[in-house]
Amino acid sequence: MKKILPVLIAVILFTTPAFAKPNDGYLDEVILEESATVVEQDETAQAGAVPSIPEEKTLREKLSDVYHLEVDKYDKPNYLLQDVLTKKFDEDSPMESLQLWGGYNGDIGVYMNEDSSSNSQYDFNTINVGLDGKLKNNNADFRIMFNYAPLSSRNVVQNLFADMYIATNKIPHHRVLVGHSRPPVGMEGSYGPFVLPFIARSQISRNFGTIRKLGARVSGDYSLVDYDFGVYSSDTYFQEFFPGTEFIGWVNLKPLAKTNGKYGNLKIGGGIDAGNRDNSFCVAGAYIGYEYKRFMANFEWANADGYNGPSGFSTDKHASGFYATLGYMLTKKLQILARYDEFDPDRNISHNNQREYSLGLNYFIKGQGLRLILNYVFCQNDAAKDSHRILVGTQILL
């Protein structure tokens, strides 16, 4: 109860304005009310006078902006206290800004099997604390992020260090990154935890992807194509010192990008994760995603002849799986989801498939900054008892 109380206080604090006055637009950028200082600047500029430098907002004014914040875009995290926890430097400093942030994503899970027995537990999915820094003129940026997950089979040091990298966007359309980061082993496997549609990832992501590695990578982003290629150590969670080399690459095509959203957004992608860790392994995947106004759908498939994922290293298992997700925004804040997810942990063994049927609701109080989550999952197993899961969760980004 002591763990849940701070979450409930945060929800009460930020929920009230969400019911007051929604924006008229849909899926736009973050909208803040224009301050009187900005209006005065515009009027002065039109009169031909030299505009005055606006005074920095007080802490009370910044917190008031958070209270009245309306967010209609959910494809990336937004931090509620970004203005409060960001330090901006003067013109003489090579640094542009430093931002301290924290993120929490957790659920109370109720699990029921076919003989009607049940149990409940409080499960911390994600607790992150990070520091993001930017240099001026887009020269470089860096992130130092720690992961606090009390329920883990790894020791404290192995689990604590998450993102630790330095990167630059100096080359047009490209980003070069060196350090410890989350590579694109699958499309969903490359997503951070704070933009996932469901509390739990798909089975192929849980087994093959969503892992961080030490290495160097180059990503490019053009109107019709984006890509990400990198070379890494095949170690995971700092358990071994460079046991082998691993190549991870992913390419997405965006055939409707030139239509300005008239026919929606279509993304078709594929990639490979191949390397050596005592023995060789290879994971191949493909993805299709489509968004049109309030509707979204995505499909992903993966096939592994050995893999090096978060569930452990395996060279003798030939696994495969796929999932399909459909989503629709009922209102500008309420989203309904459905997903079918199938996984074969070893194709050499028959009658061992695992299927998950999921339904979900997301209520975006402050975008991804403050979100309430409700998931129901029916787990159908060929080699074990079927089960049901009800997950009630919340997400807070500060």
40, part of any domain: no
Report whether 275 contacts 246 (CB < 8 A): yes
CATH number at residue 355: 2.40.160.10
On whether residue 55 sits in a domain, the answer given is no
| Residue 151, domain extent | 4-32+68-397
Say yes or no to pLDDT of 71 above 80: yes
Paired tokens of 372: 């309430």
Classify residue 226: in a domain, yes or no: yes
In a domain, 45, yes or no: no
Query: Chain centroid to CA 250: how far?
Result: 17
Q: Is 322 helix (H, G, I), strand (E, B) or coil?
A: strand
pLDDT for 24: 38
pLDDT band at 1 (very low <50, low <70, confident <90, very high): very low
The CA-CA-CA angle for residues 342, 208, 283, to 5°, reads: 95
Q: What is the mean pLDDT of residues 60-66?
A: 80
Q: Which of the pair, 332 or 240, is modelled with greater confidence?
A: 332
42 within some domain? no
* Cα 232 to Cα 119: distance, rounded to the nearest angstrom: 40
**188 belongs to a structural domain:** yes
Q: Are 196 and 210 in contact (CB under 8 A)?
A: no
The answer to the question of residue 157 being in a domain is: yes
Mean predicted lDDT score pLDDT of the chain: 83
Q: How many domains does the chain have?
A: 1
| pTM as predicted | 0.81
Whether 37 is in a domain gets the answer no
Mean pLDDT is lowest, of 66-70, 139-143, 313-317, for 313-317
| pLDDT > 70: percent of the chain | 81
The least confident of 13-22, 116-125, 311-320 is 13-22
Q: Which residue has the higher pLDDT, 75 or 182?
A: 182
